[in-house]
Amino acid sequence: MNASMGLHSLTFRVMRLCRPSFQVDDPLRFDSLDLLTGEDIFDDPATVSQAQLPRLFHRCNTNTTKPGEVDTYRNRYVLQNPTDAMGLPGFLVLPQAFGAIYLGETFCSYISINNSSNVEVKDVIIKVEIQTERQRIMLLDTSKSPVASIHSGGRYDFIMEHDVKELGTHTLVCTALYTDGDGDCKYLPQSFKFIVASPLSVRTKVRTVKDITFLEACIENHTKSNLYMEQVDFVPAQNWSTTTLKADEHYSEINCQTREIFKPPILIRSGGGIHNYLYQLRLSSHESTQMKVEGSNVLGKFQITWHTNLGEPGRLQTQPIFGSPISHKEIKLKIVEVPSITISGRPFLIRLNLTNQTDRKMGPFEVWMSKGNFHEQKAITVNGLHKMVLPHVEAFESTDFNLNLVASRLGVQKITGITMFDIKEKKIYDPLPDLEIFVDAD
């Protein structure tokens, strides 16, 4: 546009308008009795009339004129009641600094366009935009209905809100296109930068005990404020259901008189404070032997809401949380038959059963016995080829096969380290648990 950018009649004034805070004072206020008498003056009732003194002070402490009419600065000096010493009279205070902004929060600001010149300006087209590395978001555009005029000394105000969903540098770009007093078309751009940081990190651990999966989450607060955790919910994936596990109440809490009125809040300390959460997950389907494991093992994700001063909210969702890596349960391998007598040096067969517990064809497989960890040779080894290859197994089908073994030592010995390898998926399974047999002499 053919607009000049010289001296401007208009200026943008911007103030971040997050929620206010309660003013906390450092009051120097007293009960006058505590200033003008010794602390033990009432110990001796005979010499001083106990009721007389306080009444005298009451006259001085409180207003002698109509209720509310105070003609001195008495309230800066005298306590109305002991809790005034808390310095929390209830005044709210506007945010005094821009502060830090974090992902998940709402950026709110008061924007005022001031005409600080002597003349009226006309036809003001205002645009407000947020620019990030990835995108530009238009928050306000008055092109369709420009502000007809702003007189000298006048203002046009608006309040903007934007949910912060990206990290990094953000620029609030305010522009005004207007006709000034001389009839010239002027263009005023003003921008304000701020950086969005990450407020929390969530570290998880998954443990499976029998058929219960436990999910432990540790939330760490990277912000400069204490965070009140309004909601830390685990939203389970399909097939899973979740219960939040909470610690028992401390005995001092249970006995506390004010328990009904007032519960200590979950507050994570600023700059590195942490809080741990524990969830119990169960598979919704009751057929645990025919688990449908679709390759990925997503358990769900977290939905977190926190509050800072006066309930200023922040919201985040985590990436999906994965369960433990694929376990035995896809494929079940077990030893089904062992000879009743085993003689040292004489080869023997053990029969194993391989069951495919998934709904798709699996294999082919390789089976072998791992070499021992120790330098000594294992007592029971494979007799013949080191590796055995098994063909495909259809969905939900099973197959039996024999392993040819030989024992080299007498007594109670272990069949250990039978390992299976899925050639196609290139997945190695944990070895079978050890099985003990008795090896006789010839």
Report the site for another protein in 43-62 (rule: CB under 8 A): 43-53, 55-56, 59-60
Considering the complex, state which of residue 226 and residue 399 has its C-beta at the smaller distance from another protein: 226
258 touches another protein by CB under 8 A? yes
Q: How far apart are CA 365 and CA 430, in angstroms?
A: 14
Nearest distance, CB of residue 51 and another protein, angstroms = 7
71 touches another protein by CB under 8 A? yes
Considering the complex, state which of residue 11 and residue 132 has its C-beta at the smaller distance from another protein: 11
CB 172 within 8 A of CB 192: yes
Considering the complex, state which of residue 87 and residue 320 has its C-beta at the smaller distance from another protein: 87
- Give residue 51's identity as a one-letter amino acid code: A
**CA-CA distances (angstroms) from residue 166 to 14, 15, 102, 127, 151?**
21, 21, 9, 21, 38
Candidate residues 98, 136, 151, 155; the one interacting with another protein per rule CB under 8 A: 155
Nearest distance, CB of residue 100 and another protein, angstroms = 15
Candidate residues 81, 118, 143, 340; the one interacting with another protein per rule CB under 8 A: 81
Considering the complex, state which of residue 98 and residue 438 has its C-beta at the smaller distance from another protein: 98
192 touches another protein by CB under 8 A? no
CB 340 within 8 A of CB 349: no
What is the x/- site pattern for another protein, positions 157-176, by CB under 8 A? xxx-----------------
Query: Whats the size of the chain, residue-wise?
Result: 442
Considering the complex, state which of residue 163 and residue 425 has its C-beta at the smaller distance from another protein: 163
CB 359 within 8 A of CB 395: yes
99 touches another protein by CB under 8 A? no
Q: Which residue has the tokens 């809080």?
A: 275
CB 427 within 8 A of CB 366: no
Alpha carbons within 13 angstroms on the beta-carbon side of residue 24 total: 2
Buried b (16+ CB within 10 A) or exposed e, 249-268: eeeeeeeeeeeeeeeeeeeb
Alpha carbons within 13 angstroms on the beta-carbon side of residue 415 total: 27
Considering the complex, state which of residue 151 and residue 334 has its C-beta at the smaller distance from another protein: 151
265 touches another protein by CB under 8 A? yes
Candidate residues 3, 34, 324, 408; the one interacting with another protein per rule CB under 8 A: 34
Candidate residues 26, 211, 248, 442; the one interacting with another protein per rule CB under 8 A: 26
190 touches another protein by CB under 8 A? no
Q: Which of 327, 348, 328, 325 is nearest to 338 (CA)?
A: 348
39 touches another protein by CB under 8 A? yes
Footprint (CB under 8 A) of another protein, residues 303-362: 306-312
13 touches another protein by CB under 8 A? yes
Candidate residues 89, 271, 339, 433; the one interacting with another protein per rule CB under 8 A: 89
Of 7-15, 233-241, 379-387, 432-440: span binding another protein (CB under 8 A): 7-15
- Give residue 253's identity as a one-letter amino acid code: E
Nearest distance, CB of residue 14 and another protein, angstroms = 8
Q: Which residues contact 316 (CB under 8 A, 6 or more apart)?
A: 103, 104, 199, 200, 302, 303, 304
Of 71-79, 283-291, 359-367, 375-383: span binding another protein (CB under 8 A): 71-79
Footprint (CB under 8 A) of another protein, residues 203-232: 225-228, 230
